[in-house]
Amino acid sequence: MEWNKNQILEAIKPNILERLNAPLTAIFCSPDELILEEKRNGGNWEVRGTLNSQNKFGALLKANFLVVIRIENVKHLFLSKKYLVKLVQKR
């Protein structure tokens, strides 16, 4: 894979932010904390990480995110439409 974790995080951030109640409060994990796992169906990767952001009541919550991406070549990274972004609130 030619993409580094920092580039991948920057590429997926907009899709995660649009699903948050208060996107301006989002604090993402560092790129080094991302977990990348290549899937067996060739070219698809799961990207997992965490973020903190405020909910609609202003409380800061921690959530896990999962984004499935497909890397076609060194210049193109595509977000999977099937599993675009999944946020799971940590309890």
Model confidence over 15-43: pLDDT tens digits? Answer: 889 889 999 999 999 999 999 998 877 77
81, 64 contact by CB (below 8 A): no
Model confidence over 56-89: pLDDT tens digits? Answer: 999 999 989 988 887 766 566 666 554 445 555 5
| pTM score, whole prediction | 0.78
How far apart are alpha carbons 24 and 86 in whole angstroms? 19
